Amino acid sequence: MRAEATGQTPGPGECVTVLLVGHLGSDHDSLRHVLGHSNWRLLHACSCAEALALLHQSRVPVVICERDLPDGNWRALLDEVSRLPSPPSVIVSSRLADECLWAEVLNLGGYDMLATPFEANEVFRVAFLAWHSWKKRLHPNGKAA
């Protein structure tokens, strides 16, 4: 699956970085496979602490976070990233995705949810829209800094 095939691709020369936060190796392998055939770059952190260290080092527009993490959960990570100068769009992933969790994610400021195992078209759709939302927040008038 290529990003271009979905019509959801950043402009020329743009590379979208996605940070996957979670300890499930199968989710990382799946997402690496999905994004590996595109111009998107995947970073991986196993915990909230590791993710925050990465986010303080580089600007990452999209974070996909497992619902439960070894040192917290998606709520704790969302709270921490909201304090960053350019907070990323946070997408929560879960095998037990339901409407209540989805509503909670949206109500607390998360961008969206993804059910696992990941489905390529859905990953690209949601991650692209999250990236686009992040870009609009960063440059509300459509002008790059």
Domain boundaries, the chain: 16-138
pLDDT band at residue 5 using 50, 70 and 90 as cut-offs:
very low
Enumerate residues 6+ apart whose C-beta is below 8 A from 71. Answer: 47, 48, 49
Q: What pTM, to 2 d.p., does this model score? A: 0.87
Tens of pLDDT, residue by residue over 55-76, are: 999 999 999 999 999 999 999 9
Q: Between 3.20.20.70, 3.40.50.450, 3.40.50.2300, 3.40.50.920, what CATH number should domain 16-138 receive?
A: 3.40.50.2300
Residue 141 clears pLDDT 50, i.e. is over it: yes
Show Cβ contacts of residue 42 under 8 Å, excluding neighbours closer than 6 positions: 17, 18, 19, 20, 31, 32, 35, 36
